[in-house]
Homo-oligomer: A and B are copies of this chain.
Amino acid sequence: MDQWNERVRPNRLEKRFEFKDYEATREFLDKLGRLSEENNKFPDISFGKTYVNLTLMPDSDANDAMPSDSDKEFASKIDLLVD
């Protein structure tokens, strides 16, 4: 499975997911919505008919804030949503 990319300024985790059709995209987004509520983490999400781009920002606004272990754990849980 493709890895999450760790970006800097601001530090963040990013990943693109692609799907075969709109139904699969919506199914992923629905699961992700439930996971977000369970974990109280709300990534920035961009999506179209067959793709979803996710960005996880550090909880802190500090310039040098890094993705926390809990962010990375949340990213792993997102990966598990995909069959």
Contacts and interface: CB of A to CB of B under 8 A. Distances in A.
A10 interface: no
B44 A46 contact: yes
B22 A36 contact: yes
What range describes how many residues of A lie at the interface? 10 to 19
Contact of A46 (B37, B46, B49): B46
16 contacts: A22-B36, A22-B37, A22-B42, A26-B33, A29-B29, A42-B48, A42-B49, A43-B48, A44-B46, A44-B47, A44-B48, A45-B45, A45-B46, A45-B47, A45-B48, A46-B46
How many copies of this chain does the complex contain? 2
Contacts of A46: 44-46
The 7 A-B residue pairs with the shortest CB-CB distance in the complex, in nearest-first order: A42-B49, A46-B46, A44-B48, A45-B47, A26-B33, A42-B48, A22-B42
